[in-house]
Structure 1
């Protein structure tokens, strides 16, 4: 035990001497290790995904079907359907988490689900990934829920130049003048007063 403690003391002494000789390299190693520990400790869990998924579904449920974003609604409904079918699975990859789709429920006992020759190949795995969790967030679900209350199909009948609005359209000088003019008192000419 004494020799083991002596070896650890020598190793720590060597680390301290090496850090003094090359502080840049030591800082780089320390930052990489700290980042890895931070990412590993903040990898979201399966429960976190289910909470995020149900929160997104509840948020969309509060909106009228005519104002919901179609992409957000379809993605959330697909996730809920896969979860109800038992085909939604979680994998913790130390630094990040992945939610992926499997072709069958693990409790399914049909031939296609149990035959090892019909299992999906690892090459096809990236196509089955539904969401990536990193630093406590589920990034794909978050990006799909962006502008969840804007229905793009509602504006499909407009001409192409009117489908998008630029910053200049919203903050033009003419708009500002009209906005200010609505607070000015109304002045009527003498002819209209009689």
Structure 2
């Protein structure tokens, strides 16, 4: 019991010290820009606390809608974390070329062979471009290399418009899979 009373008195003394320190700090910063800054962040913290309370209340009143929102946000987060990059496209191309290289050209699927040759030519001419859309990635072929300094390449009015990227699209990456290359390499060892 004596130890309990000592710890209570220690806690009360600590609280008194914190309050007095807080009062001294408030008096020091009164009328300065720091006071406005502290007030701003207190309001931001209060706003977030209110949002948290209202979110908790919404979850209790509408659990199905909250579950759907949470599931959708989780799926978007998963898609964003599994979004492939240019390095994985290059690795997929090399793996596909190695797989196709083990098959005689008379037995290789011409569609897979032509697709990989087109990717190789585009890489060699530095025409491959990568667009990251957050949850998926697009690999497309540009008209000119980045090193090319022709007027047609530098003029913004003559660039490839976004609606034409669909025609120049080489692959779509989603959930760590490059879908077009994977589809074309599905039966790479069957010539039909």
Q: Could you report, residue by residue, the CA deviation over 1:117-169 in whole angstroms, capped at 9, with x for unpaired residues? A: 432233212111110000111000000001110001xxxxxxxxxxxxxxxxx
Residue in 2 that maps onto 1:68: 108
**2:54 aligned with 1:14, yes or no?**
yes
1:31: which partner in 2?
A: 71
Q: Secondary structure at the match of 2:48?
A: helix
Is the aligned partner of 1:91 residue 2:131? yes
CA gap 1:2/1:123 in 2 versus in 1, 3 angstroms: closer
Counterpart for residue 141 of structure 1: 181
- Aligned partners of 1:108 and 1:51: how far apart in 2? 26
Of residues 77, 81, 90 in structure 1, which corresponds to 2:117?
Answer: 77
Secondary structure of the 1:112 match is helix
Which consecutive segments of 4 or more residues in structure 1 shift more than 6 A? none
**Alignment of 1:52 onto 2:52:** no
Instruction: Provide the C-alpha distance between the structure 2 equivalents of 1:122 and 1:6, rounded to a whole number of angstroms.
Output: 43
Residues 109, 6 of structure 1: alpha-carbon distance in 2 compared, 3 angstrom cutoff: closer
- TM-score normalised by L of structure 1: 0.74
Once residues 120 and 9 of structure 1 are traced to their aligned partners in structure 2, the CA distance between those partners, rounded to angstroms, is 47
Instruction: Please tell me the root mean square deviation across aligned C-alpha atoms, in Å.
Output: 1.3
**Runs of 5+ consecutive residues of structure 1 not aligned to the other structure:** 153-194
Query: Are residues 111 and 5 of structure 1, via their aligned partners in 2, closer, same or farther at CA, if it must alter by over 3 Å?
Result: closer
- For the pair 1:108 / 2:148, whether they are aligned, the reply is yes
Between the two proteins, the alignment pairs up a number of residues equal to: 152
Q: Which has the higher helix share?
A: 2
Distance in 1 (alpha carbons) for counterparts of 2:191 and 2:57: 62
Q: CA deviation at 1:88?
A: 0.6
The 1:5–1:122 alpha-carbon spacing in structure 2 relative to 1, beyond 3 Å, is closer
Q: What SS is found at the alignment partner of 2:88?
A: helix
Which sections of structure 2, spanning at least 5 residues, go unmatched? 1-40
Counterpart in 1 of 2:34? Answer: none
**Under a length normalisation based on structure 2, what TM-score does the superposition of the two structures give?**
0.75
